[in-house]
């Protein structure tokens, strides 16, 4: 039992970043984590392992489809699934151990076990009760399934099971054309699985820019993924290791069945607050089960704060990290702040999809006068050389002031390219500011500048 300035519950990107920032600001800090390794969902069963499999399967795709075009002979590349899983595990280990190192470096105590809050100012881990002036809940989220679907993480899996299947399935049905469904669906499609995505809505990646959605769907179909849109999955039954998915086509109201080896349920996530005793403490939750906080991440109970997937807003690791830093700064008497208007979203398929700020649909709905500058990667020399010319950059700017309101990219390295627009938006830049900034040639980034030029007198290479 010890006494701390801050105890952070959960060591995912929100929690561990918050703990480090608290320690850097001179607060005596501990972090509670019940898993065997630090890093939460993101490092153990989320962002990091999925990116390892996306990277490996993309290399296979390149070897199969593009090597010969460049005079590289790598005939009939094969997949050693056990080794690929081993590579994934090594990547996870390297990252989780890195957090352990950072905790030691910053003198943060790792309280091993699942934490609960008996009362404000106290965190119980195992049989020990630790004292804390401030408690930050960063307990994250868990997959939310559908009624009528039982997850066994073997035949009917969430993202966690999909990252660790025994073998590459011949057929996979993905329920939900959101980020998880499309990233993991892409992995298995590249590894040779027949992937069919069933989506409730009429568009994939709900809420994204409509033009990006259409281009993305076309590209994914070209890559071999099949889509059934406007269909609500009702149930999944499993018999002798095979699954049968029943769904209703919403417009026609007809019921259909689909047999498959594996079903990936990717229908969203919900806050994970089990065991914290929030009810007994009187911590108020929203109707969707998220912890309610004010602008300073304070919950309804003094001394208890919450950040990341457990509160409102997009369930993104980097949003959690930013909130983690902000709350640490607030607790240290500084002015911590997150600009929710400039939080990028990235889908790590190939090509990548990246977005920040407002979409055309949102601007139209708000009645805002805007202009759209668009540039196709077909006009980008680097993209053409790298067989990566499918896609575009679109920048949206205010008609009168030219201030950048949003950017939407589908194309090579979109997840990295988006950040120059994020920085520009943070500084309240106009599209002309980006357009007048010298961009090295030949880079993918030139496409961003060209889109900014297209908001003015016109792009050069289109
Ligand atoms: P999601 O909310 O992105 O997509 C779920 C999809 O399932 C929706 O399109 C929805 O219409 C559909 N759906 C729901 N019920 C259905 C039914 N009965 N039949 C057919 N379709 C149905 O959720 P997802 O992909 O599970 O991701 C969860 C969270 O994790 C998201 O907040 C996402 O942002 C985050 N995440 C982010 C990543 C990234 O930033 N690259 C990677 C992975 C996850």
152-192: pLDDT as tens digits: 999 999 999 999 999 999 999 999 999 999 999 999 999 99
Angle between helix 317-331 and helix 13-24 axes, rounded to 10 deg: 30
For 330-336, what is the mean pLDDT?
98
Question: Cβ distance 216 to 390 under 8 Å?
Answer: no
Q: Which atom of ligand 1 lies nearest, measured to the CA of 314?
A: 32
Confidence grade of residue 1 (pLDDT, cut at 50, 70, 90)? confident
Please determine, for residue 402, whether its predicted confidence score (pLDDT) is greater than 90: yes
> Which ligand 1 atom sits nearest the alpha carbon of residue 347?
41
Task: For residues 312 and 144, give the distance between their C-alpha atoms in angstroms, rounded to a whole number.
Answer: 16
What is the greatest pairwise CA distance in the chain? 68
Q: How far is the CA of 415 from the centre of ligand 1 (A)?
A: 19
Element (H, E) at 457: none
| C-alpha to C-alpha distance for 412 and 325, rounded to whole angstroms | 30
Euclidean distance between CA atoms 329 and 441, whole angstroms? 40
Nearest atom in ligand 1 to the alpha carbon of residue 315 is: 32
In which element (H, E) is residue 356 found?
Answer: strand 352-357
Q: Is the pLDDT of residue 148 over 90?
A: no
Confidence category of residue 326, pLDDT binned at 50, 70, 90: very high
Closest ligand 1 atom to residue 309 Cα is: 32
Candidates 41, 178, 288, 351: which one to mutate for ligand 1, based on the most atoms within 8 Å of Cβ?
178
pLDDT of residue 193: 98
Kindly report the protein residue whose alpha carbon is nearest to atom 4 of ligand 1: 178
Q: How remote is the CA of residue 138 from the centroid of ligand 1, in Å?
A: 21
How far apart, in whole angstroms, are the C-alpha atoms of residue 88 and residue 215?
30
pLDDT digits (tens, 9 = 90+) for 404-448: 999 999 999 999 999 999 999 999 999 999 999 999 999 999 999
198 CB near ligand 1 (under 6 Å): yes
Q: Is the beta carbon of 175 within 6 A of some atom in ligand 1? A: yes
Average pLDDT (2-16) is 97
What's the mean per-residue pLDDT of the chain?
97
Is 268 near ligand 1, meaning CB less than 6 Å away? yes
User: Which band of pLDDT confidence, cut at 50, 70 and 90, is reported for residue 52?
Assistant: very high
The token duo for 444 is: 């993918």
**Averaged pLDDT for residues 376-386:** 98
pLDDT of residue 412: 98
Site to probe by mutation for ligand 1, drawn from 141, 180, 201, 352 as the one with most ligand atoms within 8 Å of Cβ, is 180
Catalytic residue (choose from 296, 337, 441, 461)? 441
Secondary structure (DSSP) of 106-156: TT-EEEES-EEEEETTEEEETTEEEEEEEEEE---EEE---TT----SSSE
Residue ranges of domains in the chain, CATH in brackets = 3-143+270-338 (3.50.50.60), 156-267 (3.50.50.60), 343-454 (3.30.390.30)
16 lines ligand 1 (CB under 6 A): no
122's CB contacts (< 8 A; 6+ apart) are 129, 130, 131, 132
Q: Ligand 1 center to residue 130 CA distance, Å? A: 37
pLDDT of residue 327: 98
Q: Whole-angstrom Cα distance, residue 161 to residue 319? A: 25
Map residue 398 onto helix, strand or coil. strand
Atom 11 of ligand 1 has which residue's CA nearest to it? Answer: 200
Catalytic residue list contains 419: no
| For ligand 1, mutation pick of 162, 177, 179, 199 (most atoms within 8 Å of CB) | 179
* pLDDT tens-place string over residues 283-320: 999 999 999 999 999 999 999 999 999 999 999 999 99
How many angstroms is it from 367 CA to the middle of ligand 1? 29
Say if CB 50 and CB 354 are below 8 A apart.
Answer: no
């Amino acid at each position: 039992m010890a006494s701390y300035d801050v105890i952070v519950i959960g060591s995912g990107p929100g929690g561990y970043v918050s703990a480090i920032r608290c320690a850097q600001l001179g607060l005596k800090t501990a972090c509670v984590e019940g898993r065997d390794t630090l890093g939460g969902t993101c490092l153990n069963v989320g962002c990091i392992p999925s990116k390892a499999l996306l990277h490996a399967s993309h290399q296979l795709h390149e070897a199969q489809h593009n090597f010969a075009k460049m005079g590289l002979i790598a005939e009939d590349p094969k997949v050693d699934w056990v080794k690929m899983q081993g590579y994934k595990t090594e990547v996870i280990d390297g990252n989780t151990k890195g957090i352990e190192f950072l905790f030691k470096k910053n003198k943060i105590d790792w309280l091993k076990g699942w934490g609960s809050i008996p009362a404000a100012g106290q965190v119980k881990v195992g049989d020990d009760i630790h004292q804390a002036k401030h408690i930050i809940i960063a307990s994250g989220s868990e997959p939310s399934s559908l009624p009528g679907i039982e997850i066994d993480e073997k035949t009917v899996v969430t993202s966690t099971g999909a990252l660790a299947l025994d073998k590459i399935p011949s057929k996979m049905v993905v329920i939900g054309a959101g980020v998880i469904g499309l990233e993991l669906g892409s992995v298995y499609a590249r590894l040779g699985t027949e992937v069919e995505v069933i989506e409730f809505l009429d568009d994939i990646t709900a809420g994204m820019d409509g033009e990006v959605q259409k281009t993305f769907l076309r590209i994914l179909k070209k890559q071999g993924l099949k889509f059934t849109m406007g269909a609500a999955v009702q149930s999944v039954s499993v018999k002798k290791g095979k699954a049968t998915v029943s769904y209703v086509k919403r417009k026609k109201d007809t019921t259909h069945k689909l047999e498959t080896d594996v079903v990936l349920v990717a229908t969203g996530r919900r806050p994970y607050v089990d065991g914290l005793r929030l009810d007994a403490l009187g911590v108020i939750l929203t109707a969707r089960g998220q912890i309610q906080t004010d602008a300073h991440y304070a919950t309804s109970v003094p001394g208890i704060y919450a950040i990341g997937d457990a509160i409102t807003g997009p369930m993104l690791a980097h949003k959690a990290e930013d909130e983690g830093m902000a709350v640490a700064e607030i607790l240290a008497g500084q002015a911590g702040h997150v600009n929710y208007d400039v939080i990028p979203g990235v889908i790590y398929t190939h090509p990548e999809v990246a977005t920040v700020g407002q979409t055309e649909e949102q601007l139209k709905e708000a009645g805002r006068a805007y202009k759209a500058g668009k540039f196709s990667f077909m006009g980008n020399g680097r993209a053409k050389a790298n067989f990566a010319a499918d896609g575009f950059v679109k920048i949206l700017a205010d008609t009168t002031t030219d201030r950048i309101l949003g950017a939407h990219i589908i194309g090579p390295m979109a997840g990295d390219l988006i950040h120059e627009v994020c920085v520009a938006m943070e500084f309240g830049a106009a599209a002309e500011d980006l357009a007048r900034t010298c961009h090295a040639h030949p880079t993918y980034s030139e496409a961003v500048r060209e889109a900014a030029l297209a908001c003015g007198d016109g792009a050069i290479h289109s």
